[in-house]
Chain A
Amino acid sequence: MTVSTAPRRKIRFQIRPIAAVCLLVVLFWIVVALFAPLLVHYPAGDMVSYDYFGPMSKEYWLGTDYLGRDIYSRLIVGTRYTIGIAFVGLILAALIGITLGLLAAAFGGVFDTILSRAIDTFVGIPNLLLALVIVAGGGSSIPILIGAITVIFFPGCYRFTRSMAVNVNALDFISAARARGEGHFYIMIHEILPNIAGPIMADLGLRFVHIILLLSGLSFLGLGVQPPNADWGALVRENMIGISYGSPAVVVPSLALASLALAINLLIDNLPQRVRDQLE
């Protein structure tokens, strides 16, 4: 008897051009966030020019802000805060939400009911309001911001995971595993999770955008990343007056925000068909 080796599975994903462009934009911002210290021209908090709301120039690529700080450097550093906080918050929210969602689907019954109703109470509170309460109570620091994002976004992850998992849980192969005597955890990890991983990833992408927008909203209200540092939302807020001067200081961070949010959204809309089929 010959034992043949497993053939390499060909991945037959067809990448659409628009998805490729969006992926590049997202990757670009990730690279910027990772290598921010190497890319900045001036320390982000330093006032380097006497010219406030200065135009784009050789020294100050994207102009200067209301205090004469270099927008290019502040934007690069802001990328770190925006993407970093959003990313860590998302990972935490996803870990909690997905785990609880799978548990609820696998165990079902009273456990599911109690957990779901308890988490539903979170959903009843408006996102920004909840964030304001948490930040007001704990003071604005990066750990508190991450904590706030986790608390606000894990119920969504939970509900999404649970609804997908409950559907898979009703299929015969789960019954077959249960009839075999498999435990709940095996069923969660090996039978359910691989079948819902694609849609969950796509959902997390959308949530990432929501987090960035919430974070920018908080910063806009002055409750996000504190001066002298700033994330994108804070950059827009502090330079608002610049609109009347036609200054790039307010346009550039807005564009950055829009480009990332749009790119992630479009990327998910144009995911390969096979992932999209699972989503529907």
Chain B
Amino acid sequence: MTKYPKTAGETLVSIEDLRVTATTDSGRTIEILKGVSFDVRRGEVLALIGESGSGKTTIALSLLAYARAGCHFSGGHVLFDGVDLITLDEGARRKLRGNKVSYVPQSAAASFNPSKKIMDQVVEVAEIHGILDKASARDKAIGLFRSLSLPSPETIGDRYPHQVSGGQLQRLAAAMALLGDPELVVFDEPTTALDVTTQIEVLRAFKSAILDRGMTGVYVSHDLAVVAQISDRIIVLKDGEIQEAGKTEQIVGAPAHPYTQALISAFEPVEAEAAGSRLTKGAVLEMRDVVAGYGNMKSDGKPHIIAVDGVSFALQRGHSLGVIGESGCGKSTLLRVAAGLLPAASGACVLDGKDLRPQVSARSKDELRKMQIVFQLADTALNPAQTVGNIIGRPLTFYHGMKGETRDKQVIELLDMVRMPAQFRHRLPRELSGGQRQRINLARALAAKPDVLLCDEITSALDTVVAAKVLELLKELQRELHLSYLFVSHDIHTVRSLCDEVMVMFGGKKLETFAAADLHAEARHPYTKLLASSLPTLDPGWLDNLKQDPELVRKFAHA
């Protein structure tokens, strides 16, 4: 499928039994890479895929002869064109970076200097290595901007990083990496931080740039579907070891290793239950015409910046309502309004038929108990200074007045409910993995014995396999405890697999609400269709076959 240049097939990089170890603060040494070997051939794009902590970024950085602070190469070779990068001195390494091997970072926003013009930063590589003079470097950069389909390529370089969108900045970072005509480009999760509709534009630009130049690339990602669109071969990593390596079609179509199979199965769409298959027993939570935002109140009684603009919905008892939309659409603000953390400027919030006051401090303890919020990042949602037992136990004491042994028993029961062993109550949050922390986060909310759980992107910070397990747990808990979920997410598939109803938000407004099973129905709002079609699938030809109305993309995507 890729048109290889003449030298295709030759080995460009050969990694042999690479080992990287890290030393922790307490003096323990941890093996991050436990002997990894593979080749990158000229003209191919190789993808490294794995969960957080699998060592994929460590490998990618070793291609730049770089090990992060606290890490060091403890064995093996990284042969680039026959030269072992690990044995090079720092000066030779510097000559290599940006020149022969270049890097596209995950967060372009954090990698650009906010106080310098984009063009000056893009052509810096040429200056440092003395490849081109300034004028021809500029011309080349403009050519790259054009081939990465950036708008107004002649002038975009004169802007500052904050004057372009996130998707554009990511493509500009790629232009920076390509300027020195490197032999190898390392992409480190370059689309992970982007919205789905933006991601497509960026992926398209990357793919055509790769094909045009016959580039050799290493693409690091946790998202198998993204990788399937862009790579020729995939290496699956876990805990610093290679689990499986093969052609993209083989990995995606016929995975041999059980771990790869688990990764793939997490992608299988779960069929939503047909609308009306479950009885509705009346709304447990209702919001009507809610307006909320940030900043000082203006004279018309509306906040300066409106984040939620006249949204109404009703959450049926025992059901789940999914709220989807892209970053900045107001979906998380809606949750904060429901929880009372951000008092609404106007509109009503009705729980169990009773009107709730807008501020949390004005609500009764029982009203607060019935509605619990679960935050996205369990790292910051759990107090690092308290043990798991105290974290879960506090709502028990606070709402139910439990103490001593009864409380301890209840904590163990709650841990059991989220499928965690009882001893974990003595641990501190930092001694838990990301998935475990999210379970504790959930258990703390359950401790209040709530009717409604407000879930704010609770699976988006988790790895695919872990997220699937947490979703499964949510479903079981709903059956056991008759909970109702208000589930905010940017991922339409997650919402569809969990929720009965889906509400789509854009720019603070509600676009439409529909039964989850009707997602692909003809009557859907164009934006909903755009969202649904923008999520990559495992089919390697998906990106090439994807047809989206450019008018629609221009209207809704922030690229």
Contacts and interface: CB of A to CB of B under 8 A. Distances in A.
Interface of A: 1-4, 6-7, 12, 14, 171-173, 175-176, 178-182, 190-191, 194-195, 273-274, 277
Nearest to B336: A175
Contacts of B380: 171-173
Contacts of B408: 3
Contacts of B398: 180-182
A176 B426 contact: no
A270 B409 CA distance: 42
B85 interface: no
A173 B27 contact: no
**Which interface residue of B339, B368, B385 has the most chain A CB atoms within 10 A?**
B385
B131 interface: no
Nearest to A278: B384
A273 B27 CA distance: 11
B377 interface: yes
Nearest to A274: B25
A173 B374 CA distance: 10
Interface of B: 25-27, 339-341, 360-361, 363, 365, 368, 372-373, 375-377, 380-386, 394-395, 398-399, 405, 408-409, 412, 422-423, 426, 444, 448
B341 A175 contact: yes
Contacts of B386: 190, 194
A181 B360 contact: yes
A14 B27 CA distance: 9
B440 to A, nearest CB: 11
B26 A179 contact: no
A247 B321 CA distance: 85
Nearest to B374: A176
B385 A194 contact: yes
29 contacts: A3-B405, A4-B422, A4-B426, A12-B26, A14-B27, A171-B381, A172-B381, A173-B382, A173-B383, A175-B341, A175-B375, A175-B381, A176-B373, A176-B381, A178-B360, A179-B339, A179-B341, A179-B368, A179-B372, A179-B373, A180-B368, A180-B372, A180-B395, A180-B398, A180-B399, A181-B368, A181-B398, A190-B386, A273-B25
Contact of A195 (B384, B409, B422): B384
A22 to B, nearest CB: 20
**Which interface residue of A7, A172, A176 has the most chain B CB atoms within 10 A?**
A176
A162 B75 CA distance: 48
A6 B341 CA distance: 35
A14 B448 contact: no
B385 to A, nearest CB: 4
A181 B450 CA distance: 14
A179 B444 CA distance: 12
Contacts of A277: 25
B422 A1 contact: yes
B25 A3 contact: no
Nearest to B454: A179
Which 10 A-B pairs give the minimum distances between C-beta atoms? Answer: A194-B385, A172-B381, A181-B368, A172-B375, A273-B25, A172-B380, A173-B383, A179-B339, A171-B380, A6-B426
B69 to A, nearest CB: 13
Given A6-B426, A12-B26, A14-B26, A181 B363 contact: yes
Given A172-B375, A175-B381, A179-B340, 18 more contacts: A2-B422, A4-B422, A172-B380, A173-B383, A175-B341, A176-B444, A178-B360, A179-B339, A180-B394, A180-B395, A180-B398, A180-B399, A181-B363, A182-B398, A191-B383, A194-B383, A194-B386, A195-B385
Nearest to A197: B385
Contacts of B412: 1, 3
**Which interface residue of B340, B363, B383, B399 has the most chain A CB atoms within 10 A?**
B383
A2 B399 CA distance: 25
Contacts of A4: 422-423, 426
A279 B347 CA distance: 43
A274 B385 CA distance: 13
Contacts of A274: 25
A3 B408 CA distance: 8
A172 B373 CA distance: 10
A204 B526 CA distance: 60
A172 B394 CA distance: 16
B219 to A, nearest CB: 32
Contacts of B375: 172, 175-176
B455 to A, nearest CB: 13
Nearest to A10: B26
B22 to A, nearest CB: 14
A3 B26 CA distance: 30
Contacts of A191: 383
Contacts of B381: 171-173, 175-176
Contacts of B339: 179
Nearest to B335: A179
A168 B372 CA distance: 21
A136 to B, nearest CB: 45
A179 B412 CA distance: 24
Contacts of A7: 426
A176 B380 CA distance: 10
A7 B386 CA distance: 15
Nearest to A272: B25
A7 B360 CA distance: 37
A106 to B, nearest CB: 12
Contacts of A176: 373, 375, 381, 444
A7 B361 CA distance: 38
Contacts of A171: 380-381
B377 A1 contact: no
B502 to A, nearest CB: 25
